[in-house]
Structure 1
Amino acid sequence: MEEIRESKLILANALYFKGAWSEKFNAKLTKDKDFHLLDGTSVKVPFMTNYKDQYVEEYDDFQVLRLPYVEDQRQFSMYIYLPDEKDGLAALLEKIGYKPGFLDNHILRHRVSMDDFRISPKFKFSFGFEASDVLKDMGLTSPFTRGGSLIEMIDSPSVAENLYVSNILHKTSIEVDEEGTEAAAVSVSNLVTMCWSPKSDFVADHPFLFTVREDESGVILFMGQVLDPSKH
């Protein structure tokens, strides 16, 4: 990119995550089914499934599914927030935005038996954007001005006086399949209670939100929405 070739200094930060499901999906059970889009049409995409109990909870107008990864020194999980209505993702995102601690208040600890369990997050996509304006709108302006907060990073005063951040480029990619999740992000600055319960359904056949979260700290590594899993 032209912006990078002309840069005097590049600050780069990278995050890579590869997690295997604690209970992998059997690829032989993956079948193409209809995924309903926001415009009322549908596309055929591969849906993963299994016959095991799952971490699923039903709320007033949405469901949450937790898919744990193999536990190492930390416990990571993918969470899928599925609105009841096929076009309900916008309303769900609005609710998440104005209710503090929404995601932390919907952490699942109990497994339930499943009747119809199908999830469509067998997908792969990438997304990139220029993040400077977003940070400026949040009040972070000093790095973008000459002689700002970057002066102490450079030994040469003459160079430091003219050093500023011209743009910040961010790119994220994620791939989910029967084995688990592989994801990367790069930013460049120029007790279980045992009781009987009825079986649940969880069919992610319309747009939903997903996160990849470290469950001990609550840190969210990745967040995104799946609108059309047929587009790679």
Structure 2
Amino acid sequence: MDLRESVINQNDFALGLTKQLLQTEGKQSTLVYSPLSIHVLLSLIAAGSKGPTQDQLLSFLKSKSTDHLNSFAAELVSMIFSDGSPSGGPHLSFACGVWVDRCLPLKPSFKQVVDTSYMAALAQVDFQTNAAQVASGVNSWAEKETRGLIKEVLPPGSVDSSTRLIFANALYFKGAWTEKFDASQTKEHDFHLLDGSTVQVPFMTSRKKQYNLYVSSIFHKSFIEVNEEGTEAAAATAGVIKFLCLEVPRTVDFVADRPFLFLIKEELTGTVLFIGHVLNPLAG
């Protein structure tokens, strides 16, 4: 499967998941998440699973085999996620981690996939006596990899003595506008809510073209901030396994004064990094 086909499948997965989230978690509130972070995390879990679990994951991820998923991850790590900040592009980082209980034998083939395709840090830990400490370590790892934006991807009580594996992914993006907004032009205006009422929120204003953007449980947290300087976003995804078995070609006016959907895409391949929607800018 070539990269283009993998990206199409990943974006299909992203749009399907977004539809579900907008009908549930995001029905009444602002939402942001990283479909790519979740996709990579589930791909990593699929690589270490077999039987019905692996079949269900492959179906959900719209992929024919774990080999395809592993190849796609390797392409992302080597090509898409090269940090562009030294050359003036956006700052982009991507990291995976695996925490394995010491009592579990680790297959050499799985370790090779973890090392070569996902470039994941792998640690052997003791969940049976140090579950809380391991969870704290995963949260510290996610906080470091997202530059402090995601502080607790694993909530209290999510890891206990029955946990045997934790898979995690962290994604960080920070890009500056090619043409920065003038902060003095930011003014308060009406934003129209779904119920017909309005709230006063600060609007950035520019007449220039703006470009940025060159398992027992799954936990996901995301953050995004857009201001006059640019955009900063981060996401972290963790899977806990327990012992149970856009660029516009013409000039248009864009006034974001009503609920809207947004995407951050990697320009080279079209891979969707973040998706969200804003219902009320004053609601975090």
Q: TM-score, normalised by structure 2?
A: 0.40
Say which structure is richer in strand. Answer: 1
- Answer with 1 or 2: which has the greater Rg: 1
Say which structure is richer in helix. Answer: 2
Higher relative contact order (CA 8 A, sep 6+): 1
